[in-house]
A and B are shown apart, each in its own frame.
Chain A
C-alpha cells in the first residue's frame, strides 16, 4: 500500500492567514493526488484533483501543487468557512489511501 503522510496534524490560524499543508507519498504517485475538506455532519468535498486542478465551484483561494512524492495544499486569505479538516488521497493505485488529516482551527 502507498502510505500518505500529512503535516501538520493540526494548526491554528486566523481569518486572512495563508495556510500550507503538506502531503508526502511513500512512493511516486505522479500527479494522482487529491485534496478533500471534511466538516462534521456534511458530505466531504473535493477541493483539488490531479494535484493542482481546482474542482468546479471551489474558491480560487485554494491551490495545490506538487508531483511525484511531495504535494502541498495552500489556502490563501483563510475564511471562516475554511475551518475544517483536510485530507490528501492518492489515486495512483489501489487500495486508495489517505493522509491522516490536518485540522485547521481558529487561533
Chain B
C-alpha cells in the first residue's frame, strides 16, 4: 500500500525559503496517473491547497501562492518537494503531502503532516 511521509525543518526564519520533501513508498512516483500535491492547514483554520505536480512533470499552483511556490520531483529518490519563498508568520501551518487520482480526483493517501513554524 502506498504511504507518504513529509520531512523538513520545523522552524524557518521570516523571509527565508521553506523546503519540504515527501517520500513515497509502496509504489513508483512515476507510475500511474496521479497528481502529487501539497496542502496546508494553519493552526485552528481550514485546509488550503498549495499546488500539484502531475506524473508528466506539469505543475499547477494556487493563484494566491503562485509567485512564491514551486513543486518538483526526484524520481530517483521517489520523492517530491515543495519550496515556498519569502515566508512570513502567515505561512506557519501543518503541511501535508497527498496523492490525487487524476480520474476519480480525490486525495488519497495523505502523509501525517509536518508542522512548520515561521519565526525569528
- Using a CB–CB cutoff of 8 Å, the interface residues on chain A facing chain B are 1, 32, 34, 36, 41-46, 49-50, 53, 55, 87, 89, 91, 94-101
Minimum distance in angstroms from B5 CB to a CB of chain A? 9
Residues of A near B106 (CB, < 8 A) are 34, 46, 49-50, 55, 89, 91
**Contact (Cβ within 8 A) A46 B107:** yes
- Using a CB–CB cutoff of 8 Å, the interface residues on chain B facing chain A are 4, 37, 46-49, 60, 62-64, 96, 98, 100, 104-113
Tell me the interface secondary structure of chain A in the complex.
loop
Minimum distance in angstroms from B88 CB to a CB of chain A? 20
Minimum distance in angstroms from B29 CB to a CB of chain A? 18
**Contact (Cβ within 8 A) A32 B105:** yes
Query: Could you list 9 examples of A-B contacts with CB < 8 Å?
Result: A34-B107, A43-B96, A43-B113, A46-B107, A46-B108, A50-B106, A53-B104, A91-B100, A95-B63
A-B pairs, top 10 by smallest CB distance, nearest first, are A91-B105, A49-B106, A96-B49, A98-B47, A34-B106, A43-B110, A44-B110, A46-B108, A100-B46, A95-B62
**Contact (Cβ within 8 A) B112 A43:** yes
Residues of B near A46 (CB, < 8 A) are 106-108
**Contact (Cβ within 8 A) A89 B47:** yes
Q: If A34-B106, A55-B108 touch, does A44 touch B96 (CB 8 Å cutoff)?
A: yes
**Contact (Cβ within 8 A) A94 B47:** no
Minimum distance in angstroms from A104 CB to a CB of chain B? 15
Residues of B near A99 (CB, < 8 A) are 46
**Contact (Cβ within 8 A) B109 A43:** yes
**Contact (Cβ within 8 A) B49 A49:** no
Minimum distance in angstroms from B99 CB to a CB of chain A? 11
Our pick among B46, B49, B98, B107 for the contact of A95 (Cβ within 8 Å) is B49
Residue of A whose beta carbon sits closest to that of B48: A98
